């Protein structure tokens, strides 16, 4: 009997992380999911279980290497092996560059860049030691590709994710490890919908910039994650897939 594929999705309480975990469960993976507070994962765990997959909630603070090491050990203890890592945990920042503080810089870079690197490093070590290869998919952003006002630090962190993707893909290709990223455009999550409700003019301005004239959904981003993590994408590595309704086509 062939062992089920296994996946680990960070930052999976809601939005793209939760949707990615459910998409992978639907694709035949048992899925570990993480948050700072595991209780926040209850809804995601229930959805994964309902899809017929095993769900393992773990505590993870991606700002801490020791926390990353503990979380990876917990996942491997539960599953025995790991095939897919999805680096979704991230934090936003909207602030004019001239006003960004050192504390804000550290908060964004520690989660969005440092956390992605060291979680990927732990996954890479496991896959190299196991000798069976696997896939890493990180969540980048269109802000890492094009410029926009007031999102400089966030954009810098996400541009770093795309460059990290290329670098790790080259280093680990000989081990059968594929490293890719998905760069979403605007996704109207519950939190963002609340922001737009208070500023409908801003919402319309942003939609008018998108050739498809709508925002994306978490499920559409998750479909891209699922594809890049699957055997169907076996010849794809080092790429950042833009899922943005055509925003970056201009």
Is residue 235 among the annotated active site residues?
Answer: no
Written as tens digits, the pLDDT of the chain (250 aa) is 467 999 999 999 999 999 999 999 999 999 999 999 999 999 999 999 999 999 999 999 999 999 999 999 999 999 999 999 999 999 999 999 999 999 999 999 999 999 999 999 999 999 999 999 999 999 999 999 999 999 999 999 999 999 999 999 999 999 999 999 999 999 988 778 888 888 899 899 999 999 999 999 999 999 999 999 999 999 999 999 999 999 999 8
Q: Going by DSSP bridges, is the β-strand pair 5-9/134-139 parallel, antiparallel, or unpaired?
A: unpaired
Domain limits for position 235: 5-187+217-243
Indicate whether 212 belongs to any domain.
Answer: no
Asked if the structure places residue 250 within a domain, the reply is: no
Q: What pLDDT was estimated at residue 90?
A: 97
Any domain includes 35: yes
- Exactly one of 14, 154, 227, 250 is catalytic; which is it? 154
The answer to whether residue 195 is domain-embedded is no
How many domains does the chain fold into? 1
Quick one: CA dihedral 232, 23, 112, 207, positive or negative? positive
In a domain, 130, yes or no: yes
Q: In what order do the strands lie in the sheet with 55-59?
A: 55-59, 29-35, 5-9, 84-87, 134-139, 177-184, 240-243
The answer to whether residue 48 sits within a structural domain is yes
Which CATH number goes with the domain that contains 64?
A: 3.40.50.720
Global pTM value: 0.97
Q: How far apart are CA 79 and CA 100, in angstroms?
A: 42
Within-domain flag for 194:
no
In a domain, 197, yes or no: no
């Amino acid at each position: 009997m062939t062992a089920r594929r296994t996946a680990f999705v960070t930052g999976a309480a809601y939005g793209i992380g939760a949707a990615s975990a459910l998409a992978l469960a639907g694709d035949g993976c048992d899925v570990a999911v993480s948050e700072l507070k595991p209780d926040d994962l209850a809804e995601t765990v229930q959805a994964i279980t309902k899809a017929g997959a095993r769900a393992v909630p773990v505590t993870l603070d991606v700002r801490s290497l020791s926390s990353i090491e503990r979380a990876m050990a917990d996942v491997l203890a539960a599953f025995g092996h790991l095939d897919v890592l999805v680096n979704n945990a991230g934090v936003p920042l909207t602030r004019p560059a001239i006003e960004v503080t050192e504390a804000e810089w550290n908060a964004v870079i520690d989660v969005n860049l440092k956390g992605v690197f060291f979680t990927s490093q732990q996954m890479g070590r496991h896959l190299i030691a196991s000798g069976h290869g696997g896939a890493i998919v990180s969540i980048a952003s269109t802000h890492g590709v094009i410029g926009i006002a007031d999102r400089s630090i966030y954009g810098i962190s996400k541009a770093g994710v795309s460059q990290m993707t290329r670098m790790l893909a080259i280093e680990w290709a000989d081990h059968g490890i594929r490293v890719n990223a998905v760069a979403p455009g605007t996704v109207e999550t519950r939190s963002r919908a609340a922001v737009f409700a208070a500023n409908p003019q801003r919402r319309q301005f942003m939609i008018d910039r998108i050739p498809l004239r709508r925002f994306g959904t978490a499920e559409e981003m998750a479909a891209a994650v699922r594809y890049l993590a699957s055997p169907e994408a076996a010849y794809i590595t080092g790429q950042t897939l833009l899922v943005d309704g055509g925003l970056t086509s201009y």
